[in-house]
Amino acid sequence: MKKLIVLLLIPAAWLLMGALPGINTYPVALSLDRPVGDTLIYPAEKHFRNMQQLTFGGDNAEAYFSPDGKYLIFQHKNEKEGVMCDQMYVGKIPSGPGEKFEYHMVNDGRGRCTCGFFTHDAKHIIYASTRLGGDSCPPVPDRSKYGNKYIWPVYASFDIYLADLDGKIEKRLTDTPGYDAEATLSPDGRTMVFTSMRDGDLDLYTMDMKTYRVRRITHTLGYDGGAWFSPDGKKIVWRASRPKTAEEVDEYKSLLKEGLVAPTHMEVWTANADGSNPEQITHYGQANWAPNFLPDGRQIIFCSNHEYPHGFPFNMYITDLHGHGLEKVSRDKGFDAFPMFSADGKKIVFSSNRNNGGTRDINIFIADWVQ
């Protein structure tokens, strides 16, 4: 098999993402000579059964279950369809053989959208959008100005919105200068955790969904994003960069002034839901991101390229809450990321390059989870 080429697209982060920050910010691996055995499931993927591909074409990422496990919200981009940057879609998960995954856009098509999530009542969604920054897709950065470094834009026009399932916006949840995105909700729906630049750095904040009171919960220089609550709502897991040397700090601050981050060095962290007792879980170097809790709350699944000196592929791994017992979960030679489990723990959904016939497509896959 010839070498894979990483096409750094903006997409999915989201890590890393998603995206990596979840704004079409994941790397997409394209094979020049995809194996004939391009497949839905690889023999070593013992945790997956009855895998089903839900989307076929374009960039599809950050697919997350509704509380009842019947629907998915995800971001979709496909220039062939005239969808020029990420928009939010909702679709009903097929319940039987032969049933198609039908989905529809739930935002108004303005700007770029990302990081969709169902509310506890399953009658509303939250998502981030640049809609107030303009109707068109925001421009992507010119990487040639930065030595072709892999960088993500953190658009200042991103804010978080609450909408019904028909897309009608009921409330703008954030209204401060700078980036606000990457939101998820606690299992009881009472608290939102999100990333914001309101205090000058990319930190995590929580919002009480009844009073809308906001509290900052991370305070260390570096990008903190993509946070998720544990199944019991008592802990959070997220990805973070931690520039340490003077050169790293200068680069981070310089890029941030231009609304950019370079997410090539991130590790997974956990803390109590209020931000107390933070603990670094991974120490692998490169990009470790898109973390989430397993259904029992005793393990974490995350995406990483740490095995590969050239920075790809990205696969999913499991570890315990202290970073012990690492186990490789997925085996595609391109990109596997953005895992989420259904509330009952029986299903997993994620995004992948697998079975794309050698194209650049990132599609959504759902499977039974075998512990």
pLDDT 10s digits, 164-222: 999 999 999 999 999 999 999 999 999 999 999 999 999 999 999 999 999 999 999 99
Topology of the domain comprising 4-369: Neuraminidase (2.120.10)
Please say whether the beta carbons of 41 and 35 come within 8 A. no
Does pLDDT of 35 surpass 70? no
Q: Residue 96 has what pLDDT? A: 87
pLDDT 10s digits, 275-303: 999 999 999 999 999 999 999 999 999 99
Cα gap 256→340, rounded to integer Å: 29
Q: What are phi and psi for residue 254, nearest 5 degrees?
A: -65, -45
Nearest one of 366, 331, 329 to 351, comparing CA atoms: 366
| pLDDT tier, 310 (very low <50, low <70, confident <90, very high otherwise) | confident
Q: What is the pTM of this model?
A: 0.91
Q: What is the mean pLDDT of the chain?
A: 91
Q: Residue 330 has what pLDDT? A: 98
* Mean pLDDT along residues 315-338: 97
* Domain residue extents for the chain: 4-369
Q: What percent of the chain has pLDDT over 70?
A: 90
pLDDT 10s digits, 48-98: 999 999 999 999 999 999 999 999 999 999 999 999 999 999 999 999 888
Cα gap 339→28, rounded to integer Å: 16
Q: Residue 28 has what pLDDT? A: 41
Q: Residue 332 has what pLDDT? A: 96
Please say whether the beta carbons of 64 and 39 come within 8 A. no
Cα gap 343→120, rounded to integer Å: 11
- Omega before residue 238 within 30° of 0, cis: no
